[in-house]
Amino acid sequence: MTQLGFIGLGAMGGRMVKRLLDAGHAVTGYNRTRARAQWLLDAGMAWADSPRAVAQASDVVFSMVTNTAALHAIVDGPDGLLAAMGPGKIYVDMSTVSPAASRALAARVAQTGARMLDAPVSGSQLTLEQGKLTIMVGGDRDAFERVRPILLDIGPRATYMGGNGLAVTMKIAINLSLTVQMLAFSEGVLLAEKSGIARETAVETVLHSVVASPAMQYRGPFVLNMPEEAWFDVNMMQKDLLLALELGREVEVPLPTVAVANEWLTAARALGLGDKDFAILFETLAHMAGVGAAKEDV
């Protein structure tokens, strides 16, 4: 049996590990806070005390961390996973980070004789639990084929994008649309509400119209009942939009709607809402429109 390792057991990473355990895989995990992983230990996951220990115990190592800085934190140093990588091992990073940083790391992994894939996902905690998560993969094609059956135990679709960094590029290209859609959705609902239509009626009508994308179908209702735990918070989404804007400058693609959406995320943070799901854009816009007050309403 292929020995799997997983570093970063947060909301998404932890649920991925649970799916792997349920599929019968042997998984060794590490998280900065062990207490958050107790439910996985109870489900059969083995524990390692460092990213390096995970890599030592595993043939295929996965990671899911918040940003480029967090990625370097688990990779570098004497306890970093890179110190235990070697021939025959595959490292699969599922984080959304800078494509340039991902490619640079892949080159360092290759120097150890191992291979690296970037494999970010499109979806949420809900789609992951429902088994509908989409995975994009960049890197060596043979390495992709080797881990593809494992990836399909996480989600039903794993699509090869090409070389290192291209999967995370595709993820950024997808995620930029989410904020733009949420902002437009919020504008429409608020326009209807302030004109005299009940918010609940406006939300229901939009979500049953031709403009209701799958993303809005599951996030649009948040404007009526915001989850206590963010599925994807403002700070994380702004990180992705800044990656998009940086990449847009590099490849000379103007991203005007992304630039505007990014400013609204900054406004949400200024209102103290950075840890809320990015659907809080609705409350941010409502505050400006004189419909409720964002700080008091959430």
Banded pLDDT at 65 (limits 50, 70, 90): very high
3-163: what fold? Rossmann fold (3.40.50)
Going from N- to C-terminal start, the domains of the chain cover: 3-163, 170-297
What's residue 71's pLDDT?
A: 94
What are the tokens at 265? 């995320």
What's residue 228's pLDDT?
A: 85
Bridge partners of residue 122, in order along the sequence: 134
What are the tokens at 257? 């709607």
| Selected residue with higher pLDDT from 2 and 137 | 137
239 noted as active-site residue: no
Tell me the CB-side half-sphere exposure of residue 213, using CA atoms within 13 A.
13
DSSP assignment string, 155-223: -SEEEEEESTTHHHHHHHHHHHHHHHHHHHHHHHHHHHHHTT--HHHHHHHHHTSTT--HHHHHHGGGG
DSSP assignment string, 93-134: E-S---HHHHHHHHHHHHHTT-EEEE--EES-HHHHHTT--E
What is the rounded distance in angstroms from the CA atom of residue 136 to the CA atom of residue 269? 30
| Global pTM exceeds 0.85 | yes
What is the rounded distance in angstroms from the CA atom of residue 218 to the CA atom of residue 199? 17
Mean pLDDT of the chain: 93
Banded pLDDT at 296 (limits 50, 70, 90): very low
Q: Which CATH number fits domain 170-297: 3.30.420.40, 3.30.565.10, 1.10.730.10, 1.10.1040.10?
A: 1.10.1040.10
**Active-site pick, 18, 89, 171, 239:** 171
pLDDT digits (tens, 9 = 90+) for 50-62: 999 999 999 999 9
pLDDT digits (tens, 9 = 90+) for 114-169: 999 999 998 777 778 878 889 999 999 999 999 999 999 999 999 999 999 999 99
pLDDT digits (tens, 9 = 90+) for 277-288: 999 999 999 998
